[in-house]
């Protein structure tokens, strides 16, 4: 539905506030952050889950010892040498070779990691929520910039239109005064005064035109579209939000608290015991049977299986302070949240008061414009009859122009304030 409306507005050469917001979001470089944050979260969570996959390591080593374990000295110390000679037997030559080596495969399976993998997963998810909430805050700020430019252009458009109408009115009075001058009813100084007013008004028109073009160029840069020749539609009053939608700033602060809570679990997991099942298998020399290895230098297969516990007691030394620091940070975020809520209530009250003021002003504006127009028309008649001077006539024309400009400004300011209030809720 949104795309259809945008296409229709583009075909008609008219642009809406909603379409500008959408274009600005699509053109904003930070839009790519959402996809990157999701990918980063996916990889981090996957890595935390993979800690339960059996860890396999392959290693190899070759060693040469300067000395060796030899049983000959043991036989002599035990007096077995003479006994073997008496029996006519040779003494077994038992010793380990100086050159040793092996190729080893280690397999380790986590039984319980002290909650570290769960904490890592929660930390990754909380960090992703925090980054997405920050991106939402940036988009809200971008939307506010678009709104300020959009309503600023609308106000400048109305000012330019009003000034052109005033210029047309002055030109008509100038033609009328030339007729009076030709009939010797007014002086040359009266024509000069009217011409000065027309020239001054022309300068104001040029200034407004330059400001209007500057605002439009900025809107073109933000949206990434050429909107210099398009007509900006005056938006309707914003509809009330359906249900309660939490502000992006509050979501960001809540996400920061969740991230700190997840970090607490990570800190606690550092001081928990961890249990692993392991298996080692290797092919090499010496074998587990040392006596067999002393008799023969052949390599052989060996294996060991078991359960291991690992407990980093040193983590307790800093755990208390780290947890206290994290909790202090949580309190700081909660204070920021309270400050934000307080400021929002204050700003909401100010916006409500401003809306009330502008509505009352608009109620009077219509009557003021009508009266100023009647006063100006009467002044033109009096001027024709010589009852008032040209300066007095110009003042009445200026008063009417200011009244119309004030009415237009109040109407745009009311819409802008209503949209700002709608964001606060």
Relative to beta strand 99-112, strand 274-285 is antiparallel
The SS3 call for residue 288 is coil
| Predicted confidence band of residue 338 (pLDDT cuts 50, 70, 90) | very high
pLDDT at 11 over 80: no
Could you tell me which residues are beta bridge partners of residue 64?
A: 99
Distance of CA 304 to the CA centre of its chain: 53
Query: For residues 286-316, b (16+ Cβ closer than 10 Å) or e, as one string?
Result: bbeeeeebbeeeebbebeeeeeeeeeeeebe
Tens of pLDDT, residues 64-103: 888 776 666 666 666 666 666 665 555 566 667 788 888 9
Strand (E) positions, 17-138?
55-64, 99-112
10 pLDDT higher than 50: no
Pairing of strands 231-232, 55-64: unpaired
Cross-strand bridge partners of residue 275: 112, 309
* CB within 8 Å of 7: residues ≥ 6 apart: none
pLDDT, position 76: 63
- 297, pLDDT greater than 90: no
pTM confidence score: 0.77
- Rounded to whole angstroms, how far apart are CA atoms 180 and 150? 45
User: Can you list the positions of beta strands (E) in 269-335?
Assistant: 274-285, 300-310
Q: Where are the beta strands (DSSP E) in 161-241?
A: 231-232
pLDDT tops 60 at residue 3: no
Report the chain's mean pLDDT, rounded to a whole number: 85
53 CB-contact burial (10 Å; exposed 0-12 / middle 13-18 / buried 19+): exposed
Reply yes or no on whether the pLDDT at 8 is more than 80. no
| Per-residue confidence (pLDDT) for residue 9, from 0 to 100 | 42
Q: Give the residue-averaged pLDDT of 353-380.
A: 91
- Longest distance between any two alpha carbons in the chain, whole Å: 163
pLDDT in tens, 50-65: 778 888 999 999 888 8
Q: Is 400 a residue whose pLDDT tops 50?
A: yes
- In 7-83, DSSP assigns E strands to 14-15, 55-64
Q: What is the pLDDT of residue 177?
A: 86
CATH 2.60.120.10 assigned to domain 2-53+113-273+317-424? The reply is no
- In 84-219, the DSSP E strands lie at 99-112
- What residues does each domain of the chain span? 2-53+113-273+317-424, 55-112+274-310
Higher pLDDT, 322 or 10: 322
User: Which pLDDT score, from 0 to 100, does residue 105 have?
Assistant: 93
């Amino acid at each position: 539905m949104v795309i259809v409306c945008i296409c229709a507005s583009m075909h008609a050469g008219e642009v809406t506030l909603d379409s500008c917001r959408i274009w600005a979001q699509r053109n904003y470089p930070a839009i790519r952050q959402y996809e990157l944050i999701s990918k980063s979260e996916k990889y981090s969570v996957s890595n935390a889950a993979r800690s339960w996959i059996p860890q396999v390591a392959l290693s190899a080593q070759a060693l040469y010892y300067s000395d060796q374990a030899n049983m000959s000295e043991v036989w002599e110390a035990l007096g077995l040498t003479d006994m073997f000679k008496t029996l006519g037997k040779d003494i077994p030559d038992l010793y380990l070779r100086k050159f040793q080596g092996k190729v080893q495969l280690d397999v380790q399976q986590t039984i319980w990691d002290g909650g570290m993998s769960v904490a890592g997963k929660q930390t990754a998810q909380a960090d992703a929520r925090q980054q997405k909430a920050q991106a939402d805050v940036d988009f809200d700020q971008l939307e506010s910039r678009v709104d300020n430019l959009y309503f600023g252009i609308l106000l400048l458009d109305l000012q330019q239109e009003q000034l052109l109408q005033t210029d047309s009115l002055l030109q008509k009075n100038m033609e009328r005064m030339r007729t009076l001058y030709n009939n010797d009813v007014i002086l040359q100084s009266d024509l000069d005064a009217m011409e000065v007013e027309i020239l001054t008004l022309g300068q104001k028109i040029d200034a407004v035109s330059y400001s209007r073009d500057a605002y439009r160029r900025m809107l073109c840069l933000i949206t990434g579209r050429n909107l210099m020749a398009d007509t900006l539609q005056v938006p309707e009053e914003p509809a009330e939000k359906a249900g309660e939608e939490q502000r992006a700033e509050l979501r960001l602060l809540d996400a920061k608290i969740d991230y700190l809570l997840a970090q607490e679990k990570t800190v606690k997991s550092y001081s928990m015991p961890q249990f692993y099942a392991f298996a080692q298998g290797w092919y090499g020399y010496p074998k587990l049977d040392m006596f067999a290895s002393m008799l023969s230098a052949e390599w052989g297969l060996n294996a060991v299986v078991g359960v291991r516990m690992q407990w980093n007691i040193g983590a307790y030394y800093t755990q208390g302070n780290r947890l206290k620091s994290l909790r202090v940070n949580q309190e700081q975020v909660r204070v920021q949240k309270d400050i934000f809520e307080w400021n929002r209530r204050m700003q909401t009250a100010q916006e409500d008061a401003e809306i009330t003021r502008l509505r009352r002003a608009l109620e009077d504006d219509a009557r003021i414009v009508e009266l100023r127009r009647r006063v100006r028309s009467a002044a033109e008649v009096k001027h024709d009859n010589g009852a008032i001077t040209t300066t007095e006539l110009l003042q009445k024309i200026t008063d009417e122009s200011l009244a119309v400009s004030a009415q237009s400004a109040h109407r745009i300011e009311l819409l802008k304030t209503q949209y700002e209030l709608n964001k606060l809720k």
